[in-house]
Amino acid sequence: MKTIVFFTLLITSSLFYSQTTKDLFKSGDTRISWLGVDYSHVKLVGNFSQFAEAGEKSADEIKDTYFPAWNLLVINEASKYDLKGMLRKKEIFYDIDMIMALNDNADLSDASAYNPPHYTPEQIKGFVDAYQFDKKEGIGIVFIAECLSKSGEEAFYHFVAINLSTNEILLQERLRGEPRGFGLRNYWAGSVYDVIKKIKQNKYNSWKRKAK
């Protein structure tokens, strides 16, 4: 009996850790979780006080007000920020607590910049290695915000698909989003919307063809 139990656990463990990039594109039972937008490494390029509602806010004040607002908007307006359509899934689980806490504790003392930092795959891996997933399974999707450039009227995000059991990156690509909308919240939320739309319309099929 003990042997049977051990064998069953061995099989379960193997399935638990064996997520591959292909699983992101299958219609099977793989659990797909939206982890949120990670702003903890973002650089702010340009004058962020040009919006009337922002006033003379510091980077920390932007963090406290808008980092949570931008993340909650994706959930509260799910039909617009169409994550299910983006990934061709009937169901997406929302699990943003870890990213929300990370954003809340981010040190933005050197967030102001003149140019996008152009994070390398190695740097993105370092960010993901620091994530702490408590006995989670399936695949997690996160947008790691690289920069919000007011002067360039653009934002850059890294789409990252993660095996939640191992922190292994299954898929990662840097994408440009065009901000749009009225006011600081809607303007930069528009850049997230633009990236979701680009993945839905173009990138998904390209990634699927290359998946291993």
Could you tell me the residue ranges of all domains in the chain?
A: 19-210
Q: Helix, strand, or coil here: 98?
A: helix
Query: Do 160 and 142 meet the contact criterion of CB atoms below 8 Å apart?
Result: yes
Q: What is the pLDDT of residue 165?
A: 93
Per-residue pLDDT of the chain (212 residues; tens, 9 = 90+): 433 333 332 333 333 445 789 999 988 789 999 999 999 999 999 876 554 454 555 677 889 999 999 999 999 999 999 999 999 999 999 999 999 999 999 998 889 889 999 999 999 999 999 999 988 899 999 999 999 998 899 999 999 999 999 999 999 999 999 999 888 899 999 999 999 999 999 999 999 999 87
Task: Return left, alpha or beta for 153; rule: phi > 0 is left, psi -120 to 50 is alpha, else beta.
Answer: left
Name 147's Cβ contacts closer than 8 Å, sequence gap at least 6: 42, 43, 44, 45, 113, 116, 117, 155, 156
Encoded tokens for 166: 């191992």
Contact 155, 145 (CB under 8 A): yes
